[in-house]
């Protein structure tokens, strides 16, 4: 469920060169075209979808590097 929402958010905001629904959870999103510009939109959409706020410590590149990384960040925030 969580993962599906993450994939949907990535599909809408990450501007990846591949289909986010078919993505390996460990795949490096930056290698697939995620820019820091787009990652901010991804973050905002995740906050919206999961009703959380990312604290400063999580606002770094590695947090958004893969579906798995996003998932663990959300778990850390108690959202998933």
Partner 1 sequence: MTSVSAPFTVAENAGLSLLARAEIVGRESAGPAAAEVDREGRFPHEALDALRVHKLLNCAVPVDQGGEGVSLGELCAVARILGRYCASTAMIFAMHQTQILSLVRHSTPGVTAFVAEAVANDYLIASATTELGTGGDVRSSVCAVARDGEAVSLTKNAPVISYGEYADAILVTARRTADSPPSDQVLVVCRRGDVTLEPTGNWDTLGLRGTCSPGFVLTATTSADLVVGAAYSEISSRTMLPVSHSVWSAVWLGIADAAMEKARSFVRSVARRSPGVTPPGALRLAEAAAVHQQFADLVAASAARFDAAASAQDESMSGMGFSLAMNNLKVTASTLVVDLVNRAMLICGIAGYREDSQYSLGRHLRDAHGAAVMVNNDRIMNNSAQLSIAYRGTL
Decide: 29 and 66 in contact? Cβ < 8 Å: yes
Nearer to partner 1, 2 or 41 (CB): 41
CB of 62 to partner 1, least distance (A): 7
Instruction: Return the number of the residue (43 or 80) whose C-beta is nearest partner 1.
Output: 43
Q: Cβ atoms within 10 A of the Cβ of 65, count?
A: 18
- What is the pattern of x (binds partner 1, CB under 8 A) and - over residues 4-33? ------------xx------------xxxx
What is the spatial distance between Cα 5 and Cα 34, in angstroms, rounded to a whole number? Answer: 17
Any idea what the Cα angle at residue 6 is, between residues 38 and 77, rounded to 5°? 95
Q: Which spans of this chain sit near partner 1 (rule: CB under 8 A)?
A: 16-17, 30-37, 40, 43-44, 53-56, 59-62
């Amino acid at each position: 469920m969580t993962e599906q929402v993450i994939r949907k958010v990535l599909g809408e905001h990450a501007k990846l060169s591949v289909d986010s629904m078919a993505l390996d959870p460990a795949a490096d999103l930056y290698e697939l075209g995620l820019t820091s510009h787009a990652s901010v939109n991804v973050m905002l959409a995740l906050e919206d979808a999961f009703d959380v706020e990312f604290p400063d410590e999580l606002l770094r590149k590695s947090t958004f590097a893969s579906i798995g990384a996003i998932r663990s960040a959300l778990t850390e925030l108690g959202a998933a």
